[in-house]
Structures are given as C-alpha cells and as structure tokens.
C-alpha cells in the first residue's frame, strides 16, 4: 500500500504520468517559467530567484532534469540550465491531441 501500482498500466501511461507529475509542483512550474522569462540559459542564479533553500531547489532541478523538462551543462563552477524541448513537446503533443479529439466529438457529450 502507499505505492502506485505502475505494473497495472501501460508503459506510455506511466511515462506520460511521470513527466506530468514532475511538473505538478509550484516550485517546478516557477523554475520552468523563470527559464522561459530569461531569454537565454541561466547559470547559477536560480537559487537567488526562488524562495526555497538551495538543497530544495537542487532536488527540484534534479526531478525536472530526470524527465527531460530541463537540461543543464557544467559551466565552470556553476551549471547552465535551460528548458529541454523534449519533455515540453511531449506534453504539448499529448494535450493538443486530446483537445483535438475532444473538439471532434463534441456532439456526444451527455454530461
């Protein structure tokens, strides 16, 4: 108990849920939006930007990286982060596909 029963679902369902879950936290949304706002990659000022302790931010960055939502390259003492299109585009495609299908069969709505 307490553990998600992943074996019960398809590989794709688990994959997409994992990526979505990684963005399901305001701090990680804030990180994504900060990376968007800045016109380039940022090196080493995420910690100053967010109201969380450094280890906490490091943890959130790790999760975003693990799911290909951001990517980082070592740049001397600091790390240069930017958005990874890979993850974002997967989400974009997933939701626009669902939205499109919804529009096509609007007729059948009974609720």
Partner DNA sequence: AAATTATATTGCAATATTACGATTAAAATA
Partner DNA sequence: TATTTTAATCGTAATATTGCAATATAATTT
Pairing outcome for strands 70-75 and 78-83: antiparallel
Q: Backbone phi, then psi, for 5, in 5-degree steps? A: -85, 70
The length of the chain is 111
Interface characters, 13-52, with DNA (x: CB under 7 A):
--------x--xx-x---------------xx-xx----x
Contact with a copy of itself (CB under 8 A): which of 13, 58, 59, 78? 13
10 secondary structure, DSSP code: -
Interface characters, 68-87, with a copy of itself (x: CB under 8 A):
---xxx------xxxxxx--
Interface characters, 57-86, with DNA (x: CB under 7 A):
-xxxxxx--------x-x-xxxx-------
- Which spans in the chain are helix H? 11-23, 26-37, 46-49, 54-66, 85-104
Q: How far apart are CA 81 and CA 91, in angstroms?
A: 20
Residues that bind a copy of itself (CB under 8 A): 4-6, 8-10, 13-14, 16-18, 20-30, 32-33, 36, 39-41, 50-52, 71-73, 80-85, 88-89, 91-92, 95-96, 98-99, 101-102, 105, 108-111
């Amino acid at each position: 108990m307490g553990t998600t029963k992943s074996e019960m679902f398809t590989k794709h369902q688990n994959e997409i849920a994992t990526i979505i879950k990684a963005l399901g936290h305001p701090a990680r949304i804030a990180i994504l939006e900060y990376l968007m706002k800045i016109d380039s990659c940022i090196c080493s000022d995420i910690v100053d930007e967010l109201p969380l302790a450094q280890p906490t931010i490091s943890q959130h960055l790790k999760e975003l990286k693990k799911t290909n939502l951001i990517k980082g390259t070592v740049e001397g003492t600091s790390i240069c982060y930017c958005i990874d299109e890979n993850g974002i585009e997967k989400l974009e495609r997933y939701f626009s596909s669902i939205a499109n299908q919804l529009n096509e069969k609007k007729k059948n709505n009974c609720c």
